[in-house]
Chains A and B, each alone.
Chain A
Amino acid sequence: MQHHLILRVITKMLVGTIILFAFYVQFHGDFSPGGGFQAGVIMAVAFILYGIVFNLSKVEQVFPPWLVHKLVALGVLIYAGTGIISLFLGYNFLDYDALNPHHPSHGQHWGIMAVEFGVGVTVTGVMVAIYYAFAGRPPPMKDEDW
């Protein structure tokens, strides 16, 4: 899509903003609507937009597929790891009180942050992986066909 100048310029401006907004939704998720699911999807949108406007190979240079697969796994590990930590501290699985036994509500807060972060990482990875899987499949469309 080399001659779509407006699209390219606007995309370059938007990608950073979208990623910033994703982080806002991620880390403000415990006080306002948002959280890992939404943040992950918004984050993935940044990469997918970049891939649609420029090229699949361009976005794969930024965010290589092997890294995407590792991120998908990493997010789940962060989530389950939070639960396992509380197990080792002698509490029930996913009982965030364990993270700060003196101030259980702080522990809850930290636990939710960690879990939401894990969810965000996985959702980003999964959405981008789905995009790669489908976009990488058909023969590339010629520029004149648009």
Chain B
Amino acid sequence: MSTVEVQHVAKTFIDHLPVLQVVIPLISAPLIVFIGNRKLAWLLAMAASATAFVMACLLLAQVKDGSYISYHIGGWAPPLGIEYRIDALNALVLMLISGIGTIVLPYAYNSVNAEIPKRHHTLFYALYMLCLTGLLGMVSTGDAFNVFVFLEISSLSTYVLVAMGAGKDTRALTAAYDYLIMGTIGATFFVIGLGLLYMATGTLNMADIADRIAEQGTNRTVQAAFAFIVVGMGLKAAMYPLHHWLPNAYTYAPSAVTAFLAATATKAAIYVLLRFMFSVFNPGFHFEDWTLYLIFIPFSLLAMFAASFVAVFQSDLKRMLAFSSIAQIGYMLIGIAMLNATGLSASIVHMVNHGITKATLFLGVGAMVMYSKTSFFDNLNGLGRKMPFTGAAMVAAGLSLIGIPGTAGFISKWVLVQAAFENGWWFIAVAIMLSSLLAVVYVWRMFEVLYLTAPDEGCTATDPPLPMLIPMLILAGACIWFGFDTELTLGSARVAAEGLLAGSAGMAH
């Protein structure tokens, strides 16, 4: 920055929201380690993530009209400085991530007590907050390399969080190792893509890259960059053939971690994919259409059927839900591949709705595991009857997973089918409905075990304590609520989708 006197205008709290919602969880993590007290650690984590959630809501309220906020870190103007840029898409995903992060924490207090040795508790909360920081930073930054840094912050803490399930089942260690190898390869592919983009454009600011690609048109460097970025982020997002790390990581991680990750980690990766495909590479980018039609659609269809089919035959409820996640990611990607506003808003709204739904289900399973010790179906016999509120929450979320009218899942699938018809792709619409039938099968298996089989003799299971129950009920309520009131989710998603299809908003001046 030059030494020329610039009239300085003092900034207010509202101006700092884009960076504060990342910095507050970031500061809370070292504070937790520094203080080193288990109860205070939980309090700090809760306060920080709740603050981040409130800030995300305030941000969404500001940008819901389709405008965007640009925040310059260190007062250095982009494209040289790092810019945080919040628009409707960011704000919605931020709200999902920090919201789930906040809701899972009260549940985590008891669940972590039961599943993780006491001496690791402060580290658990510190890592949880680092993971949250990474995900929030990844979503809010407008600088391409910053995405990589935050991606690695969240990934590295995720590997440790997954490995913390080793107290319950040692396979958590190998699951974390597999995830580490796959995740690192994905992140490195992503960073190679960024390097190629930097070669072609000489800048790292996303809006600036977009402007320069538009100027010089497409060339082989840019195409290679696109391929590397899509494969790298596809690995993190568990896009169908690259999903192999997911089932084990979700199955063996501690319950609270699974719920948090299932609702946020893959969604943040899909957000980055969306951001790069539409705001950095232009929607009319010739190479992109072919990628979408020839790669995304077949693999998404495969994911919807193959993963659902595999889910039907699982004997472990957590693993079944993990496979169902892979299938649901197929829906989100196929929405992107439709390349129209309706399809994009469907996949954005499905990110939110599926996040809420899966979090509820994994929280419910976690509560049952507290009693039964494993999540195998034959250990869960009749637990829905013994734990009425937990069971009810899981039923609501299960219906939302299938997409029964009146639940959040229905809204996203309905919009997705609409988008398919808009393009005249009736076979895709049929495929979506058929794969929902597979969802009916596996969700029905869950209901059957929870309600229609007799509980074991002398089963003493009851509903978990209130701090665990209330988060589940809130999320289950959200599954129903967003099925009727789509103003917040679908409204913002439509604004976000239009923003994406309009291409980059250009450099801020």
Contact = CB atoms under 8 A, between A and B. Distances in A.
A and B directly contacting (CB within 8 A): yes
Interface of A: 69-70, 72-77, 80, 83-84, 87, 90-97, 101, 103-105, 108
Contact of B1 (A69, A76, A108): A108
Given A72-B30, A72-B33, A96 B74 contact: yes
Closest CB pairs A-B (n = 5)? A90-B10, A95-B75, A73-B30, A73-B33, A76-B30
Interface string B1-31: 1010000101100001001100100110111
28 contacts: A69-B33, A70-B34, A70-B36, A73-B30, A74-B34, A76-B27, A76-B30, A80-B26, A80-B27, A87-B16, A87-B20, A90-B8, A90-B10, A91-B8, A91-B10, A91-B11, A91-B75, A92-B16, A92-B19, A92-B74, A92-B75, A93-B23, A94-B74, A95-B74, A95-B75, A97-B8, A97-B75, A103-B3
A70 B3 CA distance: 38
Q: Is the interface of B mostly helix, strand, loop or mixed?
A: helix
A92 B3 contact: no
Contacts of A80: 23, 26-27, 30
B71 interface: yes
Interface string B24-50: 001101110110100000000000000
Nearest to B130: A76
Contacts of B71: 92-93
Contact of B34 (A77, A83, A87): A77
Contacts of B36: 69-70
A101 B1 CA distance: 13
Given A91-B75, A92-B71, A104-B3, A73 B23 contact: no
B159 to A, nearest CB: 15
Q: How large is the interface on B (under 10, 10 to 19, 20 to 34, 35 or more residues)?
A: 20 to 34
Given A97-B1, A105-B3, A108-B1, A92 B30 contact: no
A92 B11 contact: yes
B72 interface: yes
Contacts of A75: 30
B454 interface: no
Contacts of A90: 8, 10-11
Contacts of B33: 69-70, 72-73
Interface in B368-396: none
B25 to A, nearest CB: 11
B294 interface: no
B74 A93 contact: yes
B73 interface: yes
B82 to A, nearest CB: 9
Of the listed residues B11, B20, B71, B72, the one surrounded by the most CB atoms of chain A closer than 10 A to its CB is B11
A101 B8 contact: yes
Of the listed residues B1, B36, B74, the one surrounded by the most CB atoms of chain A closer than 10 A to its CB is B74
B1 A93 contact: no
Contacts of A103: 3
Contacts of A73: 30-31, 33-34
Given A73-B31, A80-B26, A94-B73, 17 more contacts: A70-B33, A70-B36, A72-B30, A76-B30, A80-B27, A84-B27, A87-B16, A87-B20, A91-B75, A92-B11, A92-B16, A92-B71, A92-B72, A92-B73, A95-B74, A95-B75, A104-B3
Contacts of B1: 97, 104, 108
Contacts of A104: 1, 3
A104 to B, nearest CB: 6
B111 to A, nearest CB: 25
Nearest to B19: A93
B389 to A, nearest CB: 39
A91 B1 CA distance: 14
Interface in B57-105: 71-75
A84 B24 CA distance: 10
Nearest to B12: A90
A76 B34 CA distance: 10
Contacts of B23: 80, 83-84, 93
